[in-house]
Structure 1
């Protein structure tokens, strides 16, 4: 693949140089590396806005100020109904698209220089899956920009059950659904483990004192994200074990089910605060993260 991309990169570089020589307007355009860095920072900011919104809405739902707890998709639907909702959706969609682009640079082109060791490849693989999930979220934001609709928790549950039913219709569908639940459980556990093992200050370009102050936000946020996946994972595993799509629910409905349990309101409230912490740390990353776009788009 690098041999195929090399002639294309060279041709684009020559076209860019020729255009800058002929046009004063093109000469004012920053270099590609600067544009990629700007896009990455906007992407971190968009991620921060999404998680901050989710955390605030879940916290308000826990305090019975608004309706039921909502997931990320439900939060976007709720925001799309507010004043200037379509403007917000467009900005979020564009920001998440920029973040997906940065995830591609991290995972495919190794922008963070993780290398090809087992640990490095594992990190890059997780970045790739993260990019895919944010790509789906960006598409959802674009859809809401095209036509905002009221947030409906039951609709998310119906969609989840339809997907589960399609999976159950496949050969070994029951075990495939169990495997999907275990995969969700693994994502949750991985977030909790990352909270304690990762050195989040490694990628920040700030003073040691400031890094010590802000990295706890990342740890709290990852723990909250990890714990939030576990209720949904348990329900999906049980649904697969019983071969019953009716037992599958959505992310937001799973949190709502936890809230109805004893001390569930406190648990969901703490998770909401964790989402807010993660969103806040994403804004910090938007400002202080070391962004090092690869000099060459070479697959590593």
Structure 2
């Protein structure tokens, strides 16, 4: 069981790396006007679905992300990284729990595309996001709930930016000091790019709540497109894309070198 859990974790990091590497390359191509629009993680998976052997790609990515969710749950619930119950440890484990939820939704998206692949996934994704926003707005205090969701997205972005500056990304790597020093900048660039990329989406969702307009809600990829339309937007988008590529590369490094210590006793109370 220990070996299987370690294999699942390494597969999960590899799947995450593949997704972000795809996001980065597609976004870089969009910045150079080689393809139509920038994409987020869901958009990258939808793009894979439209390629030769797309269903196989979807299956492999879905299984890999599911493995990563399993590892994240072991970290969050069973303290696989031995973070402890201190304030910092609980914050770290809570972040890992939210990460498990996010990648769980992403894995579900990959499996859903196996069943039904829309002709225009980007448009379908925007329509689905706006339907969900309309549902939230129909609730009591729905405008404040939607604005709060935007602020939560902003919080995720700020957390990624903060992590880029303060975290020691080599702490969990079993590699030589020289190798660790070389790969750490990839992680910092990746988390910084992820954090900054959340900001435009957070602004749009928050404004949608304050205006009570579901039509203002968009997707991660469309928010990046809004950035591209600004002065110097293509350059900003290109730098962001390189950050995504760096994050994907670091995920592959984690798949190879990360210390994986599955808990021997699956007891959340330790």
Give TM-score, length-normalised by structure 2.
0.98
Aligned pairs for 1:99-248 within 5 A: 99-248=68-217
Q: Does 1:65 align with 2:30?
A: no
Structure 1's 276 and 103: CA in aligned 2 closer, same or farther, altered over 3 A?
same
Unaligned ranges ≥5, structure 2: none
Query: What corresponds to 1:26 in structure 2?
Result: none
For 1:23, the equivalent position in structure 2 comes to: none
Partner of 2:59: 90
1:202 Cα shift? Answer: 0.1
Query: C-alpha offsets along residues 42-76 of structure 1, whole Å, 9 cap, x if unaligned?
Result: 00000000000010011111111111111111111
- Per-residue CA distance 1:117-160 (angstroms, 9 max, x = gap): 11100100010010011111111111223344444322222111
**3-state SS, counterpart of residue 259 of structure 2:** coil
Structure 2 counterpart of 1:43:
12
Separation of aligned partners in 1, 2:246 and 2:177? 20
Q: Hey, what's the Cα distance between the residues in 1 that align with 2:14 and 2:211?
A: 42
**What SS does structure 2 have at the residue aligned with 1:203?**
coil
Deviations 1:167-198 (A, max 9, x none): 11111111111111100000000000000010
The equivalent of 1:276 in structure 2 is 245
CA distance in 1: counterparts of 2:202 and 2:117, whole angstroms = 29
1:242 and 1:147 mapped to 2: Cα distance?
33
Does 2:62 correspond to 1:79? no
CA shift in 2, pair 1:151/1:46, >3 Å: farther
User: Residue 108 of structure 1 aligns to a residue in which SS?
Assistant: helix
Distance in structure 1 (CA, Å) of the matches to 2:53 and 2:205: 36
Contact 1:81-1:149 at 8 Å conserved across structures: no
For 1:251, the equivalent position in structure 2 comes to 220
Q: Note closer, same or farther for the CA distance 1:151–1:209 as it changes in structure 2 (3 Å cut).
A: farther
Residue 81 of structure 1 contacts residue 150 of structure 1 at CA under 8 Å; is this kept in 2? no
User: Partner residue of 2:234?
Assistant: 265
Structure 1 residue 239, shift from structure 2 partner: 1.0
TM (normalized to structure 1)? Answer: 0.88
RMSD over aligned Cα atoms: 1.0
Aligned partners of 1:77 and 1:151 also within 8 Å: no
Q: How many positions carry a matched residue from both structures?
A: 269
1:164 to partner: Cα distance: 1.0
Give, in whole Å, the separation in 2 of the partners of 1:235 and 1:80: 28
* Alignment counterpart, residue 2 of structure 2, candidates 10, 33, 39: 33
Instruction: Report the Cα distance in structure 2 between the residues aligned to 1:172 and 1:107, rounded to whole angstroms.
Output: 32
